A and B are shown apart, each in its own frame.
Chain A
Amino acid sequence: MKNAVYNPRDWDSQPPYAHPPYRSTDLRSPKQPLVPLAQSLSELTGPVYGHRHVNALDADLTRNGIVNGEPLGERIIVAGQVLDEGGRPVPDTLVEIWQANAAGRYIHVGDQHDAPLDPNFFGGGRFVTDASGHYRFTTVKPGAYPWGNHDNAWRPAHIHFSLFGPAFITRLVTQMYFPGDPLLELDPIFQATADAAARNLLVADFSIDLTEPGFALGYHFDIVLRGRDATPLED
């Protein structure tokens, strides 16, 4: 695979920069056309993080923020596999997550939502995928929260994900949603990907197999990063 280039961003899957229903894109979306960039080592390399950069507590958000007790909320397992477009696992790649607590409130100092903070919930986690590309977090189900985009706007419950993959151009920052959430239909961020089949890749599946008896419900969420084919790098 050495020096093969990565597939382009799939513009049927990826949202546009400008998406008027999401008002914050108005002034933050580039208007000039993107300049094509032939891939070189600058794009084919990227930050390297390994298992020494994380510990077991990083993957357990029900424990990594404990001050004087258990966080409140419905415990869940979120697990899946990081793959490329060819279905190949992406091993040893860093997955960072962050989320609101069960009441829909972030610990972030800028979150003004009038819902309680949970003294025992921090809301951030990290995992480095195993040899088969799998990751697994234990957390609590985040609450929906209001935002100012339009009248009576609410974000559907979601977990933010950040991944590197093997190269600088495989970087992905996204959000995972929960099945059956009625707010998905109304959310301009989720709806920014016009193709329903593509945006539904952002919705986790409930999994009885991941569900731990007497402890936590399981959700399965695979993540597909840009893959590379056999096209050699231009010299």
Chain B
Amino acid sequence: MRRQTPSQTIGPFFAYAMTPTAYGRTGIASNRLTTEATPGQHIRIVGRVFDGAGTGVGDAVVEIWQADATGRYHHPEDDRGALPTESDFSGFGRTDTQPDGRFSFETIKPGAIGSREAPHINVIVMARGMLLHAFTRIYFADEARANAEDRVLSTVPAGRRDTLIAQPLDNAGASFQFDIRLQGDGETVFFDA
């Protein structure tokens, strides 16, 4: 067995390569996962990344990976039938945070992946001061029944589950808020994935 290469922090100076639109370059992904034609319920997810003092983290990267509206991942490992040939949806998004820690994604609400799996978005957070990225998940408050049966949420201490649940910002299900607290009061649940 070879040993895993250790992780190192992304540092503060990644933006021109990883999230380079402000530098006039095209990144491999952005915070917009959809076009107008993408099938599914279009949603906007907004949030902030906070440190242990409650200060916004202005140099974080948030990456999301999700299934499409039918619950399919666009990856060869998910071989449950053919993907729509015209699909423009990859399922991956990446953004940096604003100086106050704010971020947003334009995406679709993912379908449920399987039984006892509520719709969710997989998240990686990294920043200067994090030697290793952190894994978390976004669930949706308007999926209360599915959330109650979700096999991952059921393993999370009940008092901390709320940290994984995006809250609606309107009645139309068009926008949700999901904050990420790296440390301290209301610390987001991070997974040993």
Q: Of the candidates A15, A98, A225, which one forms a contact with B8 in the assembled complex, judged by CB atoms under 8 Å apart?
A: A15
What is the CB-to-nearest-CB distance from B45 to chain A, in angstroms, rounded to a whole number?
A: 17
Q: Flag whether B141 is at the interface (Cβ < 8 A).
A: no
Chain B interface size, as a band, is 35 or more
Q: Flag whether A213 is at the interface (Cβ < 8 A).
A: no
Q: Flag whether A48 is at the interface (Cβ < 8 A).
A: yes
Q: Determine if A47 and B135 form an interchain contact, defined as CB atoms under 8 angstroms apart.
A: no
- Cβ of A174: which chain B residues have Cβ within 8 Å of it? 5-8
- Chain B contacts with A in 154-183, Cβ cutoff 8 A: 155-157, 160, 182-183
Query: Given A27-B183, A37-B192, A108-B13, does the pair A9, B4 have CB atoms closer than 8 Å?
Result: yes
Q: Determine if A224 and B57 form an interchain contact, defined as CB atoms under 8 angstroms apart.
A: no
Q: Of the candidates A29, A39, A46, A83, which one forms a contact with B183 in the assembled complex, judged by CB atoms under 8 Å apart?
A: A29
Q: Flag whether B47 is at the interface (Cβ < 8 A).
A: no
Q: Determine if B155 and A35 form an interchain contact, defined as CB atoms under 8 angstroms apart.
A: yes
What is the CB-to-nearest-CB distance from A233 to chain B, in angstroms, rounded to a whole number?
A: 10
Q: Of the candidates B4, B9, B14, B192, which one forms a contact with A225 in the assembled complex, judged by CB atoms under 8 Å apart?
A: B4
Q: Flag whether A206 is at the interface (Cβ < 8 A).
A: no
CB 8 Å contact bits of B103-126 with A (1 = contact, 0 = none): 000000000011001001010101
Q: Of the candidates A24, A201, A227, which one forms a contact with B128 in the assembled complex, judged by CB atoms under 8 Å apart?
A: A24
Q: Determine if B126 and A173 form an interchain contact, defined as CB atoms under 8 angstroms apart.
A: yes
Q: How far is the CA of A227 from the CA of B160 in the complex (A)?
A: 31
Q: Determine if B131 and A17 form an interchain contact, defined as CB atoms under 8 angstroms apart.
A: yes
Q: Determine if A45 and B75 form an interchain contact, defined as CB atoms under 8 angstroms apart.
A: yes
Query: Given A13-B4, A168-B124, does the pair A25, B131 have CB atoms closer than 8 Å?
Result: yes
The stretch that binds B, out of A66-74, A133-141, A178-186, A191-199, is A191-199
CB 8 Å contact bits of A1-35 with B (1 = contact, 0 = none): 01100001110111111010010111111111011
Q: Determine if B155 and A36 form an interchain contact, defined as CB atoms under 8 angstroms apart.
A: yes
Q: Determine if B28 and A15 form an interchain contact, defined as CB atoms under 8 angstroms apart.
A: no
Q: Flag whether A212 is at the interface (Cβ < 8 A).
A: no
Query: Given A44-B77, A167-B77, A189-B131, does the pair A94, B28 have CB atoms closer than 8 Å?
Result: yes
Interface centre among B12, B131, B183 (most CB of A within 10 A): B131
Q: Flag whether A175 is at the interface (Cβ < 8 A).
A: yes
Q: How far is the CA of A27 from the CA of B74 in the complex (A)?
A: 36
Q: Is the interface of B mostly helix, strand, loop or mixed?
A: loop
- Cβ of B77: which chain A residues have Cβ within 8 Å of it? 2-3, 41, 44-45, 166-167
Query: Given A34-B192, A47-B65, does the pair A26, B4 have CB atoms closer than 8 Å?
Result: no
Interface centre among B3, B10, B67 (most CB of A within 10 A): B3
- Cβ of A31: which chain B residues have Cβ within 8 Å of it? 52, 183-184, 187
Q: Flag whether A172 is at the interface (Cβ < 8 A).
A: yes
Q: How far is the CA of A59 from the CA of B79 in the complex (A)?
A: 32
Q: How far is the CA of A46 from the CA of B160 in the complex (A)?
A: 26
Q: Flag whether B17 is at the interface (Cβ < 8 A).
A: yes
What is the CB-to-nearest-CB distance from A179 to chain B, in angstroms, rounded to a whole number?
A: 16
Query: Given A47-B65, A168-B65, does the pair A14, B6 have CB atoms closer than 8 Å?
Result: yes
Q: Determine if B129 and A27 form an interchain contact, defined as CB atoms under 8 angstroms apart.
A: yes
Q: Determine if A28 and B14 form an interchain contact, defined as CB atoms under 8 angstroms apart.
A: no
Q: Determine if A47 and B92 form an interchain contact, defined as CB atoms under 8 angstroms apart.
A: yes
Interface centre among B4, B67, B157 (most CB of A within 10 A): B4
Q: How far is the CA of A197 from the CA of B3 in the complex (A)?
A: 9
- Chain B contacts with A in 78-116, Cβ cutoff 8 A: 78-79, 90-92, 113-114
- Cβ of A199: which chain B residues have Cβ within 8 Å of it? 6
What are some 11 contacts across the A-B interface (CB < 8 A)? A27-B51, A28-B127, A31-B184, A34-B192, A35-B189, A45-B65, A45-B75, A83-B2, A86-B1, A110-B13, A226-B4
Query: Which 7 residue pairs across A and B have the least CB separation, nearest first?
Result: A24-B129, A124-B17, A98-B17, A45-B75, A28-B129, A47-B92, A34-B192
In the complex, besides A9-B4, A22-B129, A30-B188, 4 extra interface pairs with C-beta distance below 8 angstroms are: A28-B127, A86-B2, A110-B59, A122-B16
